[in-house]
Each structure stands twice: as structure tokens, then as C-alpha cells.
Structure 1
Amino acid sequence: MVLGWRRRKNKNKNPRNLDLEIVIPAHFKCPISLDLMKDPVTLSTGITYDRDAIERWFQDGNFTCPVTNQILTTFDLVPNHALRVLIQEWCVENRRFGIDRIPTPRVPVSPIEIADALLHMKASATRLDRYGVMESVQRIEKWRCESERNKRCIVENGAASVFSFAFHAFASSIEENASVLEEILCALNWMFPIQFESQRILGSSNSLRCIVWFLKHQDLSGKQNAIVALREILCSCDEQVLEAMAEIEGNTKELLVELINKRISPTITKASLMIVHYMVSSSYPSCEKVKLEFIELGLISSLLEILVDTEKSLCEKALGVFDSLCSCVEGREKAYSNALTIPILVKKILRVSTLATNYSVSAIWKLCRYGHKDDNDEEEEDEEEALVEALQVGAFQKLLVVLQVGCDDETKEKVNELLKLLNPYRAGLECIDSDFKNLKRSF
């Protein structure tokens, strides 16, 4: 295979030379990518590769030299400066053919340098030295901006744990340490996802309170960093962290509902829905109380408004929260009172994704199987109204198709029970919905 650059078109040159190609010297090409090397490095076997290519080789779990197939005893990459200079000189000599000079690569940061910076940062955070921490953060940020390789190296050497510790250390005095806390939180955002240990450190009461404060007082960028961090902390669904979040004083839940309603940005809206989902779908002690608070804040109506017309990812998250809220009596009561509930849930079946279908079926099942009143007669009346409305908007046919195209065991069980509940009401009420007429089966 011959690689090269086609000569740029030049009206003043002989047309017979327009297709001339400049062939790259073989020793300038990486044995892995077969492209011109930008940062040649040599292994202990004496073979030279482009840094990005050989690092990807190692990341894929290989322990040998690609050319010699020899097992490596060391993974040190020695920069081949002499070859790099020759490549640069060759580029300059052929620049009239449109070849750009390969820039001199920056020396990548070493694990030892990262460890030293993190050690300095942790020591500074322990004695609450804001300037020392800021110096370390800026140093690490500079390395991160230089290359993707540096970023990976920083994350792999435990930066998230030290940054989480520093954030926790300064979180007890928020306003006094706002600037350093903001820098730490901004840096943490490019380290996500983080390990469980770091999640627990950031999940302390002081840290959570600080992040919520950022949600209230920061600009758009600051709010986005804070909400993404909060989502990352709660995604482990650790009971202690969720309980600490539930006990934060102030209008935290009102703030989350406000962020969902305002839809300031897709990132903030999605992260807010995920946070609410973690808070209402777990089994920690305050979960039921938290559900009631979100329901009283009108979250059911807000979710239905989002579901009217929204993209796939947001729809899945909104349906997940809605399904969780329908697990309690008060949630079903609010759902029954909204005329959009059943039509929207039925409409989302088979229209968004498998996950959205599962959530929709689950919510309909809860509404049709359980009432919301203490009186049995009124309870049966609510169930009957939900069943009749579901039939009128084409639920029976859609549920049959769900069984035909396939679903998980839990959803299948709910679909079968719903079909049994709906069947007695079919005569004279059933609507043939064409929403799925073009749906392709999985067999």
C-alpha cells in the first residue's frame, strides 16, 4: 500500500504533473497505523511507533511489541528525537506539495509528576490552603488541555479521589471558598464517571449542601457543572448519600422541579430528571416522604408536559420518574386527575424505545390495577375509568404488539395482566389505533 499526498492543483504548472504523489519514506511511517509519525517513540525492543498508536495498542490489553511479537518487560516509551527532526525536515522540504510541518510534540506528563501534584494538592486541602490547592488545580488543568493522553493519565492516577477530598474539605465554608470550590467542581466534571469511593466523599452532607448552593447562585456554566456532579454522586443509589440529599435544608426539591420546568439546557434538564429518578425510585428511609414532596410540587403535570413532545433520552427519563411516582397513592391520584395521562402513556408505547415502552406499560398497569381512594367503591371506579380510557386510545392492540415483538419477563407479566383487565370492557369501546401499523416484528 502506497501512501502519500496528492500535489495541489497549480494552473502555472504542466498539467501532466498534477497527479504527482509524494511517497512517505517507509521509516517515517508508524508500523501500526501506516501513517506519518507525529510523535515517534521507541520501545525496549528497538522498534519505533507513533505514540498515539502504540498507547492504543497497550490500552487494548496487548503486552507485546506489534512488530517482533516479543513480550515486553517494560512499557516505557522513549521519544525518538532524531527521527522526529528528520520527519520535520522532510515535511519542510515538501511543503510546496501542500505538506504541513509536523509540530514538535509536548512532552507528555508522567505518572510521577501527576502523583506529586496530587500529593501537594491533598496536603494543601488538609490545611485549608486555598492558594496551594488552586496552584495544583491549575497545573493539572494545564496538563489536561495539552492532550487526551494526559487527561487519561491524570484520571487513571486517582485525581478524582483527591479532588473530591479537596472539595469536601472546603465545603464547610461555601461563600468564603466559592472560587476554589468552583474550580475543583469544574475539573471534576471532565473526570466523570468516578469511583464509588469518590462518590461517597462528594456525597457528604457538606459537599451536597455546597453543590445545591451552586445550583442556586451560579451562572449557567456553574449550574451545569453542579447538576452533573450531583447526578454523578447519586447514580450509585447509595442509601446514605440519598438520605443525606433528602435531609438538606432549603428548597432543594423546589429547585429541581424549577430546573425541570424551565428547561434551561438539555444537559441540566436531563441531569435534574435523573437526580429526581434516583431520589424517588430507591428504598432509603425517606423515599416515600420525598415522593410526596415532589408530587405536591406538581411534578406529575410537569412530566406530562415534557412527554407531549420531546426527544428520546428526555422522554425515557421523564417516563422513569412518572412510573416511580405512580407507585404511591398520591401519585396515582394526581395522574388520574390529569386528562393527558392515559393518552400520553399509551402513545409512548412502541414509539420511543424499549425502555420507554417498559416504563409506559408499568405506569398504565399501576393506574389500572390500583385506585387512589381509601373507599373500595371509589377505588374500583378509578380503575374502571382508567381501563375504559386506555381501551379508547388503542391500548389493547398496542399491548398485543408488545408481546409479539418481545419484551422482558417483568413487562410481559404486566402486559398479560393488563390484557385480562381490559378484555371485559372491549365490547363497544375498543379503538383501532394505527400508531403501530408499520412496526416491524423481531421475527
Structure 2
Amino acid sequence: MVRDVDLYVTVPSFFRCPISLDVMKSPVSLCTGVTYDRTSIERWLDSGNNTCPATMQVLNSKEFVPNRTLQRLIKIWSDSVQTQKDNRVDSSASSVVTREDIEVLVKEMRAKKDKNDRLSKFMCFAKESEENCEFLAKFDGFVEMLVGFLVGDKDINFLERVVKVFVLILNKVGDYKALRLLILKQNNDCLSALLAVLKQGRSVSSRIGALKIIEAITLDAESKKMVSEKEGFLLELVKLISLENDPRLIEASLSCLIAISMSKRAKTNLINFKVIAELRKLLTGGQKASVSIIEKALKLLEMVTSLREGRAEFCNDTACVEAVMNKVLKVSSEATEHAVMILWSVCYLFRDGDAQDALVKSNGLTKILLLMQSNCSPGVRQMSGDLLKIFRVNSKFSSCLSSYDTKTTHIMPF
């Protein structure tokens, strides 16, 4: 009965490509304003056609641009459909599961009898109350069984469901040190399974769940090193912070990157994976990036610019410097601290000329003066004072300061 769900899914007409009539995977728009799936329209144009298939207008240009808004809408709709399917499967499981049933269910799971059905029962049981979540977390051998399924199964749909159950009880596990040993001692097989969920998972919630599990077990330098050096893991996280993804997934990915990227090697790898360019996109994403995402993006940028290579790439990206300057005010006190620390490091401590020029172009003097008049922390005030010295010492900026002689002398730190 669950399989019939697919037959009754109504696809919004504008999600379908006018050529293939399938849901678009990579929607692009022609100069006529009509949107097609990239593969279909490329095939049409490569065949020698010079018209818009839907309107038959002759094309002034065969160039097309990605329709990011439609792509995000399709992604949200697709995730919603998948969630509905999961809920149908969950509701098909017996909703009346008692604590006495758990022992029998665990034995049946270990015997690999209808694993998906039993996982659904565990999920229903856990969702009923916090007490049930704690009961499962403390049930002898239950967590070990879930870890074993992560190691021993390659079916991505099953792995996603294991992760969802895992996350329901994660806050009740208590001893994360024991969980870390349990997961990381499996010759990285658990990490491989979680990486597979990140790469191939169809559900946003399961991918976020995989990130939460990783973050929960990275308690010390050794575990952070093991996770960050897992082949493909850092690169996948950098891909996940793209603005095209769900904001919840972006935020979870940033949190995980901050948690595991403490070593110099990890930061160097992130720089090589062009994380600074991705962070700049987040910082210039307008209303698409929440305050929390901006705070975490600035925190991660602060971490990678602690390395010489990171500072060099950051300073060469004028738009990124300007984006950080624009986040000094009107975001949050945490964002202000991270932004000022980044600018202070590259402009004052290491005296990078390109970064200083970008600071001026983004009206940095005015913003720092305003910041010093605000209720900022003593540390931010001290760094802001150091940044103002750059304008005074450098003759190129003297004209900028002259207009502030009468109005802002009272707040100048020198």
C-alpha cells in the first residue's frame, strides 16, 4: 500500500520541463523567459534549433541562466514529498509499541527480520515522548545495534532511517565518549556510512542528523582529526554550505565544519577546497542567509584566515573583504566580534595592503567610527581603535579622516 503513494503525488506543472515533461533537476531560463531542464534544452539547441521550444520565438541569444529560485522550490517540494512518504511508512507501522515490545523488536532486528518495519516501530515509539527516547538510549545494546547497522548495511534508504532513529535518542545517550569510541573504532566504516548519507541521502533531516552525530562524537583532537581526514568528508561539507541548499542543512554543515576544523591540516584543506569563496557567497546572499548562518560563516572564516594561506586568499578576494566589513554592524554582537577580528588580523596585525584598500572602498572608516560609538565589547572597541590607526597612518586615507575632524574627534582613540 505504501508503494502506491508514488502514484498519487501531484507535481506542480511549472516544475516540469516543457520538453521532457519530467521534474526539472537543473532548471535554466532562455532569453524568452521560459524555463527548461538544462539537459533537455541543451539537446534541443545542440540539434541546430534556434527557437524557443515552447513559444517558437527565434532566439536572439542561445545563452541561458540557472533559475536558482525555481531550483530551490523544487528541492523544498521534493523533500516535502519524501517526508510524506516516510510518514506514511511510519504510520503503517504499529503505533502501539510498549516498552515490553522493545526487547522482542531488538532481537528481531538483530536477526535482520523486516528491518525497515521494525525501525519504523522504534521511530514511532521514540516520537511519543522524551521518556521513550531515554528508554531506548539506555536499553542494553540498542545503541550498539544502531552502530552495527551503520557499519553493516549499504542500502542508503535504510541508513537514512537508522540515522533518524539515532538522532531521536542522541540527546539521551549521555556518555558521548563511549559513543565516540563505538563509532570511531569501526575502521572508519561508520564514517563512510554517514558520508554516504550526506552525499546520497534524499531527506534533509537525515543529512542533518548525520552531521549532528558527527558533531556529537568530535570531543577531542584525536576524533576531530580522524573525522576531518576522512577522505571526501571536508569536501562534501564545503559543497553542502552552498546557498542552493536548504538553510537548515547549511547551518548544520557550518556547525560541523567549525567543530572538526581545528588542526592546521584541516584548515589548509578547506582553503584548497575554496571554502572562502563559498563563505563569501553566504555573506553576500542577502535575505537568504539567516543571522545564525552569517555568524557561523564569519566564525569559520576567522578560523581559516588564521593561516597565512587563508589570509592571502581572503585578501585577494576584495568582495569577501567588503562582505565582512558590511557585517560589522546590524547583524548581531557575535557577528560583529568575528568580523572585527578578521579585519583586525589581516589589516592591522599583518598589514595587508589589498585588504586595507578594500576596507576603505566599503566605507570602512564610517562603519568603524559608528561601531566605536555603539555598546560594543572592550575587545571589539580596542581592535576598532587599532583599525582606525590604519586610516591615520596611511596617507592615502588622510582625506577620509579630514571630514570627521569636527564631528568625531571625541571618539578617536588617539
For Structure 1 versus Structure 2, the TM-score category normalised by the shorter chain is 0.5 to 0.7
Question: Residues of 2 paired with 1:262 and 1:142: CA distance?
Answer: 33
Identity value in percent: 19
Match of 1:156 among 134, 141, 162: 134
Q: Larger % of helix: which?
A: 2
In structure 1, what is the equivalent of residue 199 of structure 2? 216
Amino acid at match of 2:276: I
Structure-2 change in CA distance of 1:178 and 1:129 (3 Å): farther
Question: Residues of 1 paired with 2:329 and 2:175: CA distance?
Answer: 39
In structure 2, what is the equivalent of residue 241 of structure 1? 223
Deviations 1:180-215 (A, max 9, x none): 433221223344545452552675233222110112
Q: State the Cα RMSD in Å.
A: 3.2
State how many pairs are aligned: 298
In structure 2, what is the equivalent of residue 140 of structure 1? 122
Structure-2 change in CA distance of 1:165 and 1:399 (3 Å): farther
In structure 1, what is the equivalent of residue 258 of structure 2? 277
Q: Please say if residues 325 and 364 of structure 2, whose CA atoms lie closer than 8 Å, have aligned partners that are also in contact.
A: yes
Question: Residues of 2 paired with 1:290 and 1:432: CA distance?
Answer: 45
SS of 2:242 mapped into structure 1: helix
Structure-2 change in CA distance of 1:325 and 1:314 (3 Å): same
Cα deviation for residue 268 of structure 1 reads 1.6
Match of 1:167 among 128, 146, 149: 146
Question: Residues of 2 paired with 1:345 and 1:208: CA distance?
Answer: 34
The answer as to 2:398 corresponding to 1:427 is yes
Q: Give the TM-score of the pair, scaled to structure 2.
A: 0.63
Cα deviation for residue 224 of structure 1 reads 3.7
Question: Residues of 1 paired with 2:294 and 2:341: CA distance?
Answer: 15
The answer as to 2:293 corresponding to 1:288 is no
Question: Residues of 2 paired with 1:279 and 1:246: CA distance?
Answer: 6
The answer as to 2:246 corresponding to 1:265 is yes
Cα deviation for residue 165 of structure 1 reads 2.3
SS of 1:357 mapped into structure 2: helix
The answer as to 2:308 corresponding to 1:326 is no
Structure-2 change in CA distance of 1:303 and 1:121 (3 Å): same
Correspondence list, 1:165-244, <5 A:
165-175=144-154, 178=156, 180-191=158-169, 193-198=171-176, 200=180, 203-204=183-184, 205-219=188-202, 221=203, 224-235=205-216, 237-239=218-220, 240-244=222-226
In structure 2, what is the equivalent of residue 130 of structure 1? 112
Question: Residues of 2 paired with 1:158 and 1:408: CA distance?
Answer: 45
In structure 2, what is the equivalent of residue 389 of structure 1? 358
Structure-2 change in CA distance of 1:298 and 1:163 (3 Å): farther
SS of 1:157 mapped into structure 2: helix
Question: Residues of 2 paired with 1:320 and 1:210: CA distance?
Answer: 28
Moved over 6 A (4+): none
Question: Residues of 2 paired with 1:289 and 1:355: CA distance?
Answer: 26
In structure 2, what is the equivalent of residue 337 of structure 1? 316
Q: Bigger radius of gyration, 1 or 2?
A: 1
Relative contact order, CA 8 A, sep 6+: which one is greater? Answer: 2
Cα deviation for residue 242 of structure 1 reads 1.5
Question: Residues of 1 paired with 2:382 and 2:182: CA distance?
Answer: 39
Question: Residues of 1 paired with 2:376 and 2:342: CA distance?
Answer: 16
Q: Give the TM-score of the pair, scaled to structure 1.
A: 0.59
SS of 1:418 mapped into structure 2: helix
In structure 2, what is the equivalent of residue 305 of structure 1? 281
Structure-2 change in CA distance of 1:159 and 1:389 (3 Å): same
Match of 1:407 among 376, 379, 402: 376
Question: Residues of 1 paired with 2:327 and 2:253: CA distance?
Answer: 21
Q: Please say if residues 163 and 184 of structure 1, whose CA atoms lie closer than 8 Å, have aligned partners that are also in contact.
A: no
Q: Please say if residues 394 and 430 of structure 1, whose CA atoms lie closer than 8 Å, have aligned partners that are also in contact.
A: no
What runs of 5+ residues in structure 2 fail to find an aligned partner?
1-94, 405-414
Question: Residues of 1 paired with 2:103 and 2:402: CA distance?
Answer: 68
Cα deviation for residue 356 of structure 1 reads 1.1
